[in-house]
Structure 1
């Protein structure tokens, strides 16, 4: 499982570093950059949640099928005995 720090750098190349604005700039562009980062992270979070839900549903379906197959297999084995 990845740590939170590793996840924030997800998608960045190894040689790529985060660029911070020079200290003499106004806080408005910095806030705008943070909002943009937050929007990107929210979008990625939504996508990952959607993928997780899809995987969870697929596992439920597969588990139900395997359970039914196992029951029918067991009943066939009992009939043969």
Structure 2
């Protein structure tokens, strides 16, 4: 008997604030907070990277994303990223 796949909902993770000197994407989180290891995507559903840390306080959390590639990261600043819940 096969397990049925649950449909995954796309959530807004937040807005990219900056790219760190180490090449990590710093994301200001919104209402939904992704789990560590969660994949994040851009508006075209292109895989950007993985959540490696959540920092800041409870009222104003930030996510640290390890990008799949270091190419064109500056173009992500001010973009909204998403994750599947």
TM-score (norm 1): 0.17
* Larger strand share, 1 or 2: 2
User: Higher relative contact order by CA 8 Å / sep ≥ 6: 1 or 2?
Assistant: 2
TM-score (norm 2): 0.17
Which protein shows a greater Rg? 1
